[in-house]
Amino acid sequence: MSILIVSDIHANLAALEAVLEAAGPVDTIWNLGDTVGYGPYPGECLDAMVDLEPDVMLLGNHDAASVGLLSLDEFNPIARAATMWTTSQLTDEQRNQVAFLPLRATVDGCLCVHGSPRQPIWEYLYSAEVSAANFEVFDEAACFLGHTHVQLWITNDMADAGIDPRLGSDGESIQLDQGRFIINPGSVGQPRDGNPDAAFALFDPDLGVVTFRRVPYDIARTQTAMRDAGLPMQLITRLAAGV
C-alpha cells in the first residue's frame, strides 16, 4: 500500500501538481492541513484535493482563519492580508467544506494532526522539549504533522535525550519499527528550510517505511499569479528562496 502524505499546500497549484506527478500512483492521500492561505489558487487546490478523495484531510490554522473559525488577530499583517483575500475567493460550498474538516485523524495506527497532538491547530514542533511533551499525549506509534513548513523527524528516545528533530532529505527513508516517531513531510506550497522544492512523503504502512521526497515546480507560474492577485510581495519573493 502506498500513501501520499502532504501538508501546507497553501493554494500553490503548480507545486501540488508537481507533487502528484512525482508521487505517481498511490492508494490514498493524507492531507495534514493548510490547503489554502498565502497562495493564488485556494479554490482550485481545495477542489483538486476533494476530487482525489483523501482518507485524511485536516483543518489547518490558515484553513480555519479563511472561514472565520480562527481570529485574524492571531496572524501577522502579511498573513492577515493574504487570508482576507483567500476568504474572498472561496465559494459558499468551499467554505462549508473547509469549516467541517476535522482537527485530527487516526488511521493505520498513526495519528495525523496539523500543528501538534496537544494543540492541533497552532503549536509549532521544532524542539526536543516540545516533542517530548507531545509524545506524552498520544499513544500511536507515529504522528504525522505539518505547520512548520520544515521536513523533519524525531523519535521518543531522541526527545527524551534532548536531541532536537532532524531534517529530512530527498530519498531518505525511516523505518517505523525503530521507535515511536513524530514526522513532518514538509510543505508542498511554501517550504521554509532553504530549499524551494515542494516537499512531501510517501508511506508504506505494510512495510512501516516513510520516505521523504522533494520535487522542483514552476515557481514563476505561482509568483506571476500572486502578483496578478495583488498578494503581498514578501509572500511572492520567499517562494524562490524556500524561507
pLDDT tens column, 54-98:
999 999 999 999 999 988 888 899 999 999 999 999 999 999 999
The per-residue pLDDT for 163 is 97
The per-residue pLDDT for 104 is 97
Averaged pLDDT, 24-50: 97
The per-residue pLDDT for 73 is 85
> Does residue 239 have a pLDDT over 90?
yes
For residue 14, name the pLDDT band (cuts at 50, 70, 90): very high
Residue 143 CA to residue 134 CA, distance in Å, equals 10
Beta strands in the chain (DSSP E): 3-6, 28-31, 56-57, 104-107, 110-113, 142-144, 152-155, 166-167, 173-175, 181-184, 198-204, 209-215
The per-residue pLDDT for 240 is 95
Averaged pLDDT, 208-212: 97
Burial of 91 (C-beta count, 10 Å sphere; 0-12/13-18/19+)? exposed
Q: Which residues contact 239 (CB under 8 A, 6 or more apart)?
A: 12, 190, 196, 219, 222, 223
For residue 138, name the pLDDT band (cuts at 50, 70, 90): very high
Average of per-residue pLDDT values in the chain: 96
Scored b (16 or more CB within 10 A) or e, 205-230 reads: beeeebbbbbbebebeebbebbeebe
> Does residue 139 have a pLDDT over 90?
yes
Averaged pLDDT, 10-33: 97
Largest CA distance in the chain: 49
**Which residue in the block uniquely carries the three cell numbers 490547503?**
35
> Does residue 159 have a pLDDT over 90?
yes
Cα distances (Å, whole numbers) of residue 226 to 49, 87, 185, 188, 235: 21, 15, 25, 16, 8
The per-residue pLDDT for 71 is 87
For residue 42, name the pLDDT band (cuts at 50, 70, 90): very high
Averaged pLDDT, 168-193: 95
Cell numbers at residue 36, please? 489554502
Instruction: Report helix, strand or coil for 98.
Output: helix
Name the more confident of 1 and 168. 168
> Does residue 1 have a pLDDT over 90?
no
Residues in the chain: 243
For residue 178, name the pLDDT band (cuts at 50, 70, 90): confident
